[in-house]
Amino acid sequence: METQVLEVDPLEDARSIYQQAAAVLASGQLVAIPTETVYGLGADAFQPEALAAVFAAKERPAFDPLILHLASARHLDEVVELPEVFRDMVQQLADAFWPGPMTLVLPKKPVVPDLATSGLPTVAVRVSAHPVMRGICKELGHPIAAPSANRFGHISPTSAEAVSKELGGRIPLILDAGACSEGIESTILLPVLDEKGQPAVQILRQGPLVKERIREVVRVVKPKKAPLSRQEREAKAAAPAATEKTPALAPGQLKSHYAPTKPLVLHNPRQAFPMEAGTAYGLISYKGDSPLAGQPGWAATASLSPGSGRLAEAAVRLFAVMRRMDENPAVQVIVAEELPETGLGAAMMDRLRRAAAPRN
Ligand code: TXA
Ligand code: MG
């Protein structure tokens, strides 16, 4: 299949391109679409065959559910059955963080195909801040199911060029709106009832919307395995769908996700790395000024936020820098500096740990 790459500038009148992309989706085919987090591989969420094509193009196991993208929060009720206990909290979250890099997991309506949720009773939804994704959702008139536009287990693409490398020849259309502004996948939240039966959220996947900010709006609780209290049992009886099957982690959060093809190891930036003779190492440094970065012998070095050390800049560049190291023929093993685990650093360390995990 030939893959067309179309540049789209949302500040120009891009509507004809949105319509063209929506027509491709309506015909059951796939389009790679930019979002503020990473590029998504879009399909019409209401066409099970198109969803099946997503799994095929990504070589993704069918147990890994997809995220539905909506044109606006007003469309939420079309796909989810919002439990009354969560209505106010979800409204507050939507007001505070949509459009933006927040995904909510909520009980699904029957119109949502089982293929989108891998048979789960819940569906993941978000309203992207990217005008191109929202514009196409609007033209299509349906939600767009879109996982990250990479082959399964690979690094998420933050540019159209990276999408081409991953899926070129497998899909008819890639929309190119330049680099993604956030650079890592959305934060996934699951509404739950806390120990007092009050609405709260669990963070299923860390992302650009950091815990510190979520806490300004709602209570954040850790997933727990202890038996339910009486209060919780009563609360659960009031909102069964939402507390049933509560996973400790988002399914698909496999340990060795986001993996480069080369081995990657995490290392303390204040300590020298024990290099083996005859192996070529490439370093991904945070600021580029650590003792580790100063160690002689690197075959290549890159820094995520040169000099200044801003976590937001590092997040935007993380996947692109990982990809470049992976493609650099002079490098055999990638060494990545451990990052401070506050705010966005926690989401980045989550991705790096997965990249460093033994492959399955
Ligand atoms: O930023 C993002 O979220 C990007 C852009 C394209 O929107 N999308 C993305 O999708 O990262 P994907 O498919 O790579 O990750 C979706 C993850 C699944 O792996 C799973 O962990 C979680 O969302 N998920 C989806 N549905 C769920 C559900 N019903 N319950 C729990 N987790 C779910
Ligand atoms: Mg992904």
Q: What is the pLDDT of residue 229?
A: 52
Structure tokens at 348: 């980045």
Atom of ligand 1 nearest to the CA of 122: 29
- In angstroms, the CA 207 to CA 104 distance is 13
291 phi, psi to nearest 5 deg: -55, -40
Q: What is the pLDDT of residue 252?
A: 54
Q: Which amino acid is located at 307 in the chain?
A: G
Q: Of all protein residues, whose CA lies closest to atom 6 belonging to ligand 1? A: 40
Q: What is the pLDDT of residue 244?
A: 38
313 C-alpha to center of ligand 2: Å? 21
126 C-alpha to center of ligand 1: Å? 10
| 47: Cα separation from own chain's centroid | 22
Asked if residue 253 has pLDDT above 80, the reply is no
Q: Which amino acid is located at 73 in the chain?
A: A
- Average pLDDT of the residues in 67-89: 97
Q: How confident is the model at residue 127 (pLDDT cuts 50, 70, 90)?
A: very high
Q: Which of 112, 167, 188 should be mutated for ligand 1, with most atoms under 8 A from CB?
A: 188
- In angstroms, the CA 264 to CA 29 distance is 35
pTM equals 0.84
Q: What is the pLDDT of residue 163?
A: 98
- The predicted-structure confidence for 143-179, as pLDDT tens digits, reads as follows 999 999 999 889 999 999 999 999 999 999 999 999 9
3-state secondary structure labels for all residues of 220-250 = ECCCCCCCCCHHHHHHHHHCHHHHCCCCCCC
Find, among 112, 346, 77, 88, the residue nearest to 212 by Cα: 346
Q: What proportion of the chain, given as a percentage, has pLDDT over 70?
A: 89
Q: What proportion of the chain, given as a percentage, has pLDDT over 90?
A: 78
Closest-approaching ligand to the CA atom of 253: 1
- The predicted-structure confidence for 303-342, as pLDDT tens digits, reads as follows 999 988 999 899 989 999 999 999 999 999 999 999 999 8
352 C-alpha to center of ligand 2: Å? 14
Burial of 220 (0-12, 13-18, 19+ CB in 10 A): middle
What is the CB neighbour count within 10 angstroms for residue 263? 15
**Least confidently predicted of 172-186, 226-240, 294-308:** 226-240
196 C-alpha to center of ligand 1: Å? 29
Q: Where are the beta strands (DSSP E) in 143-244?
A: 144-145, 173-176, 187-193, 199-205
